[in-house]
Structure 1
Amino acid sequence: MRPTVTVLNGPNLNLLGTREPEIYGTDTLEDVRRLCVSTSDGLGLDCDFHQSNAEGELVDLVQAARGRSIGLVLNAAGYTHTSVALRDAVVASEVPMVEVHLSNVHAREDFRHRSYLSDVASGVIVGCGLLGYQFAIQRLAALHRS
C-alpha cells in the first residue's frame, strides 16, 4: 500500500471555473483533483481528495488523516480566516500540513491577510493557481522522505 496525501478544499471551491474567474481562474475543482492525483501518482503516493462547504466536515476529514496520511494539503478558503476549530484539528492530526491559496490573499481584502493556519503549517503557498497544489504535494513528499 502506497503512502497517502490528503487534499482538502473548503467552502465555495466547488464553484471553481465559474466563481470570480478574474481572481480564481477558469480551472475547475475537477482540474484541481486531476492535477493532485497525477502529481501524487508520479511521486508514488495515493491522493485522498475532498471538498466541503461545511466546517465540521473539514474538521472530521483532518482528524481522519491522523495516522493514515503523510500530510495534508489544505485550501481552507474562507475558513482560513475564521476557523479556530480547523486550526486545532490540524495541530491534533500530528501530520504536516501545507496551506494553499489559488489567489494571492495578501493582495486582496485586509481580512484575508490573517490566517489561523499559517503558523501551524509546514509551508504556505499563495498566488500560484493550480500549481500551488502541485508544489504542496511535492513538499509533503519531500518531508516524508527526509
Structure 2
Amino acid sequence: MAKILAILLIFLVFYALWKVMIKIRINRAFQKHQAAYCNMVQGPISQKCPRPVEEVIEEVAEYEQQLFDDVAALFLSLKVSTSDPDDATTIQQELLNKMPAKAQTQIRQLDLGEWSIYWSFYQQSLEYYVGKYGVFITHVDRFGQEHKYNHADV
C-alpha cells in the first residue's frame, strides 16, 4: 500500500512540474509575440507598446438621477441656513442616506471659518457652502441646469 501511495505522490509531483513548465513556456512565447508586435506597430524608436484602451461606459439608471435631483430639490426647498460647523456631519448624513448608493460626499473646512459640504453623483452635484457673507446652496441637475439658493448675512 505504501508503494502505491509513493508512486502516486511521485506521479503528482511530476504532473505539477510539467504544468508549471508548460505555463512558463506559454508565457515566454506570449512575451516574444507581444514584443514583436510592438516593434512592428511602433518601430524601433519607441520602447513602450501601447495597451489597448477600453472606454468604460457605466450606465446610470434614470431613477437614480431623478432621486438625486429630488433630494436636492427638497433640500433647496427647506432653505436650510445653519452656519454651525458642528451640524455639517448631521446635514451630510441625512442627505446621503436619501441619495443613490453611488453618491459621494465630502466636507471641506476652509479659511476664516468657512466650510462646505459637497455631494456628487456622476455629472450632478449639490453644494452647501457657508461663508463670510451667508449660506449658499447650488445644485446642478442631470440636464446641466444650475439651481441656487442664497441666505445672505449682510
- TM-score over 0.5 for the pair: no
Which has a greater percent of strand?
2
Instruction: Give the TM-score, by structure 2 length.
Output: 0.28
Greater relative contact order structure (CA < 8 Å, 6+ sep): 1
